[in-house]
A and B are shown apart, each in its own frame.
Chain A
Amino acid sequence: MIPVIGGLALNLAFGLSIVTIILLSFHLRTGDNRLYFSGQRAALAVSLLSFFATFVLAQLLMVSNFDVDYVAHYTSRETPTIYKITALWAGQSGSLLFWLFILSIYAVIAILQNQRSQQKLMPWVIIVITTVQLFFLILVNFVTNPFIPTEADFVVVNGLGLNPLLQNATMAIHPPMLYLGFVGFTIPFAFSIAAMAKKEMNALWMKTVRVWLLFVWLMLSIGIILGGWWAYQELGWGGYWAWDPVENASFMPWLTGTALMHSIIIQEKKNMLKFWNMILIIITFTLCIFGTFLTRSGIMSSVHSFTASSLGPIFLGFVFFILIVSFTLLFYRKTFLRSEKRIESFTSRESGFLFNNVVFVVMCFAVFWGTLFPVISEAVRGTKITVGAPFFNQINIPIGLVLLLLTGVGPLLVWRRTSRQSAVRNFMIPVSVGLMTALILFIFNMRGYVLISFTLSSFVLTTILIEFAKGIRSRMRSQHENVLVAFWRLMRKNRSRYGGYIVHVGIVLMFVGFTGHAFNSEKEFGLKVGEKEHLDNYQFELLRLSEEERPNHYAYIADLKLKDSDGKTITILHPEKRIYFHRSPDPNRRQPHSELDIYTLLNKDIYSIFNAIDTEKGVAYFKIMINPLVNWVWIGGYIFIFGTLIALFPSKKESVV
């Protein structure tokens, strides 16, 4: 009965989403407010029914109701409770329902929060949000329904279980964060379409869009960072970013979203770049849908799997629908969006922001091209030409370094135009520090990208420090405050600006971490108990090999003693080789997995992977990696998140707004 109710809730939500769009369209034609209120209620009902359907599926997963195909596919009786919940987004139909669930949360918040302050725009906002909901309702009702019963003429006593790679705490948080980011871009997109439709773009609109953008951008950023953390901790190849299509799918909207976060400042302060910002909002939202299409249509594995499933063409059709409707509206509103002011000088802060935007978009295009190239080559020439990490690194490392340079240059430029005198005054110290760093690194035999990256990092950090120092000094002079009070009040009263600078500090530290990759070293070897191996200045001794049967896997555990060059024991590492579904009578179902162990220092990670075991010879095979500076990627990530939170939370006075 319960699966039937879940399915019917989705049916009803589908019907009501059409009703919502019809009611609000008639309201816009006739001006009858009864239709608006009725449409608004219908929109809320669509969201509530979507919540209900999601809770039903979550409940079915929790109680292991294997009568439902989705539950039988992604959980088993042995699956730990937490992963039964995370199985909600492990499969295709569940993840699309989860998309709808998050969009429904956002829809309710957006409707209730803005129903008074943005009354003129709300009918359009609701129409856009409901159209996106309708699209996902079509998918979960007619293409890939999560409530479809299991096709078996016997009682299914156990399910297949969740992929072991997904049985990880980070994986419990990473996808919801990505979804919160991906889905969230629907709201600023809806407000933008509404603003264009109604030709209404005031300060309140700007504030609403900016806050939403910042929030969803933060969620997407956290999702991406957690994805990298999960790959590093779980996949056992020692890296955090592989330019995989799924990773790229989240990175592309992040790039355009980041460009937007910068250019919207120009719109807010100078009333410029309105047209460009609209383009960025449309592209960012389209890339979110496109990213879901990339990960869900099967197109990346093969063009043929794309055409074999109806999901791919529907998704692609929706992407084109968004692009055609949005750009047509944009075309008709080009006069309304025309800026009254123009960028006057190449050396102004405005042009710095614009240049930063162009570089972000170029990077996005490079990632887009590299991601789709295998698909295009297969479609055109019949042969799939894979573009790997070397291509992406070759293109994106220089672009990334240009962005890093602009992070430092931007704050040094003056609004409207930078005079020669200001340029010399502002650039003198940061450029000197950068050049000093370059010289020292050159003496220490560093060259190429490593040299450029560290040089630029020092240049940008100096710029940011100077910005803080200037702000503090200014307050100390004008308000007669001491250093600490001046710093505290400067931050409190200008959260957006100084939160942004803290985000930049995080980015610089992440670049330092990325650059550390150039110094990585690794070694693969086999050891019997008591044997030793060396890598760099470290010694690895296999002390013991043990076995353990756990509820959902069988584990071989190595005790690997780590000693430094002085022979002093640092720690004992415990990498594991696990066999999931070890009780399955079908040997093909048994899934080996390496659970690694990492010894973390501030300046490096010692990363141990238990590759394989030969039980007859008693030999365990390991891969050891020494990854310098990698932790600065995560430290930078924390600082990045902290900075965004500072920028996001308004001061007490502003929260009244």
Chain B
Amino acid sequence: MMASVVIILVFILVTVYIMQPLLLEEDITIEDTQNTKDSFLQRKKILYRQIKELDLDYQLGNVLEQDYINSRNELKKEVSDILSVLNKK
């Protein structure tokens, strides 16, 4: 008897919890997190880390000079693109 009550109660609670968003009349808008300020800041940090690693690789002699210059310029361009987006936001 007790088991049945517990099970029914759990079942009702779980059903209500899951169904609640479906009972809303209007659809829920999801913020586009790919284009938020936070997201750009995160990408900027990842790029900074990649530049630092590239610098270290160059200092250790693990990258050819021309390759280093090209890769660094590519990463810097990506960073400056992100910074210009961030400045607009």
Contacts and interface: CB of A to CB of B under 8 A. Distances in A.
Given A34-B27, A41-B21, A204-B43, A415 B10 contact: no
Given A33-B30, A203-B43, A474-B56, A12 B11 contact: yes
A133 to B, nearest CB: 15
Contact of A415 (B6, B19, B42, B67): B67
A116 B21 CA distance: 17
Contact of B22 (A34, A119, A426): A34
Interface in B24-63: 24, 27-30, 32-34, 39, 42-43, 45-47, 49-50, 52-53, 56-57, 59-63
A216 B40 CA distance: 28
A117 B38 CA distance: 9
A117 B22 contact: no
Contact of A34 (B28, B42, B56): B28
A590 B37 CA distance: 68
Given A45-B18, A654-B49, A5 B7 contact: yes
A349 B27 contact: no
A519 B1 CA distance: 68
- Among B19, B21, B28, chain A packs the most CB atoms within 10 A around the CB of B21
Contacts of B29: 33
A204 B82 CA distance: 14
B2 A1 contact: yes
A119 B30 contact: yes
A494 B56 contact: yes
A654 B63 contact: no
Contacts of B21: 34-35, 37-38, 41
B28 A33 contact: yes
B43 A117 contact: no
Given A16-B18, A204-B39, A33 B56 contact: no
Given A45-B17, A417-B64, A120 B57 contact: no
Given A116-B33, A470-B60, A38 B28 contact: no
Interface in A200-244: 202-204, 207
- Among A33, A49, A415, A654, chain B packs the most CB atoms within 10 A around the CB of A415
A120 B30 CA distance: 10
Main secondary structure of the interface of B (DSSP, over half): helix
Interface in A15-56: 16, 19, 32-38, 41-42, 45, 49
Contact of A478 (B7, B53, B59): B59
B63 A416 contact: yes
A657 B45 contact: yes
B49 A119 contact: no
Contacts of A497: 53, 56
A38 B28 CA distance: 11
A471 B42 contact: no
B22 to A, nearest CB: 5
**Interface size class for chain B?**
35 or more
A656 to B, nearest CB: 7
A25 to B, nearest CB: 15
Contacts of B2: 1
A42 B18 contact: yes
A587 to B, nearest CB: 42
A470 B2 CA distance: 70
Contacts of B49: 654
B62 A414 contact: yes
B62 to A, nearest CB: 6
B56 to A, nearest CB: 6
A34 B60 contact: no
B50 A269 contact: yes
A32 B47 CA distance: 34
B39 to A, nearest CB: 7
A4 interface: yes
Given A414-B62, A415-B62, A470-B60, A19 B18 contact: yes
Contacts of A8: 3, 7
A559 interface: no
Interface in A394-434: 414-417, 419, 422, 425-426
A656 B3 contact: no
- Among B11, B30, B43, B49, chain A packs the most CB atoms within 10 A around the CB of B49
Contacts of A32: 27
B61 A33 contact: no
A204 B18 CA distance: 29
A331 B67 CA distance: 32
A41 B13 CA distance: 12
Contact of A467 (B3, B7, B14, B60): B60
A119 B33 contact: yes
Interface in A41-99: 41-42, 45, 49
Contact of B62 (A1, A349, A656): A349
Nearest to A268: B50
B39 A203 contact: no
Contacts of B22: 34-35, 38
A1 B6 CA distance: 10
Interface string A639-657: 0000000000000011011
A325 B46 CA distance: 32
A4 B3 contact: yes
A334 interface: no
B60 to A, nearest CB: 5
Contacts of B47: 203
Nearest to B57: A415
A493 interface: yes
A249 B39 CA distance: 40
B56 A471 contact: yes
A60 to B, nearest CB: 14
B79 to A, nearest CB: 12
Shortest 10 CB-CB distances between A and B: which pairs?
A37-B21, A1-B3, A474-B59, A33-B28, A203-B46, A38-B21, A34-B21, A42-B18, A41-B18, A657-B45
24 contacts: A12-B11, A12-B14, A32-B27, A33-B28, A33-B29, A34-B21, A34-B28, A38-B21, A49-B14, A116-B33, A117-B33, A117-B42, A119-B33, A202-B34, A204-B39, A204-B46, A415-B62, A415-B67, A416-B67, A417-B64, A493-B52, A494-B53, A654-B49, A657-B42
Given A5-B3, A414-B63, 9 more contacts: A1-B2, A32-B27, A38-B19, A116-B33, A117-B39, A204-B43, A414-B64, A478-B59, A493-B52
